[in-house]
Amino acid sequence: MGARTSRAHGLGWEPGVNRRDPGLPLERLLARIDAYALRHPGEAAVADRFREFVRSHPDGLLRSCAPGHLTASACVVSSDHERVLLMHHRKLDRWLQLGGHADGDPDLLSAALREAREESGIERFVVWRAGGEAGTPLDLDVHEIPARASEPRHLHFDVRFLLVADADSRLRGNTESKALVWARWDEVGRLSSEESLLRMLRKARESLGLVALPPAG
């Protein structure tokens, strides 16, 4: 049965499903990057960087792509819009959003849903969109992953999506995290000062129609 879409206050909700489609071409990803660039004209440089990477690295969905690879993240907000789900990443020792490697899946929204389920234990998500095409990313980010053991330093081209889940759902982390927490918006600054995370959360609040938080401190 196809996914049903309902609308409330002009915003579309789509039930989160985890359907891997290996045949989905990377042109779909490029189209989503184009849609993102239209919504965020001030971020043309990062959108161009993503386009160049996708076009010049046909293996960019795989971890074996040494310079870097595409990853998918989930900004998970509670259904009452009052909290955001964060994980304390075991290897990086930082509070981050849920997410991980594409591992060959060209549908990065599907990959983000898969990672959110695996890392939180929550089964049910809805994908939030505020106008535009379903699947338009919430945020794009390029960040460096430091060298560890036999893994050289490389880049993650992270495509981030906004998901909504019931905060009463039972949390069950995996080996990727030390802890999971539903943090109130005004608590996030005490857990992390990373602009990459805070920028994503500002966009999430804007997409949800929430007022901007005052600057920390």
State the Cα–Cα distance between residues 162 and 73, nearest whole angstrom: 9
State the Cα–Cα distance between residues 59 and 46, nearest whole angstrom: 20
Q: Does 5 fall in a domain?
A: no
**DSSP letter, residue 177:** E
Which residue carries 């609040």 as its tokens?
A: 205
Per-residue pLDDT of the chain (217 residues; tens, 9 = 90+): 333 333 332 233 333 333 344 335 688 889 999 999 999 999 999 999 999 999 999 899 998 999 999 999 999 999 999 999 999 998 889 999 999 999 999 899 999 999 999 999 999 999 987 556 668 899 999 998 888 877 889 999 999 999 999 999 889 988 888 999 999 999 999 999 999 999 999 999 999 998 776 565 4
Q: Does 94 fall in a domain?
A: yes
- Cα distances from 156 to residues 16, 67, 110, 184, in angstroms, run 24, 9, 18, 27
Number of domains in the chain: 1
Q: Does 201 fall in a domain?
A: yes
Q: Does 12 fall in a domain?
A: no
Q: Does 50 fall in a domain?
A: yes
Q: Does 89 fall in a domain?
A: yes
Q: Does 183 fall in a domain?
A: yes
pTM of the predicted structure, to 2 decimals: 0.84
Residue 142, token pair as written in the block: 């390029």
In the chain, where does DSSP find H-type helix? Answer: 26-39, 44-56, 108-120, 188-191, 195-207
Domain holding 178: CATH number? 3.90.79.10
Q: Does 212 fall in a domain?
A: no
Domain that holds residue 161: 25-146+153-207
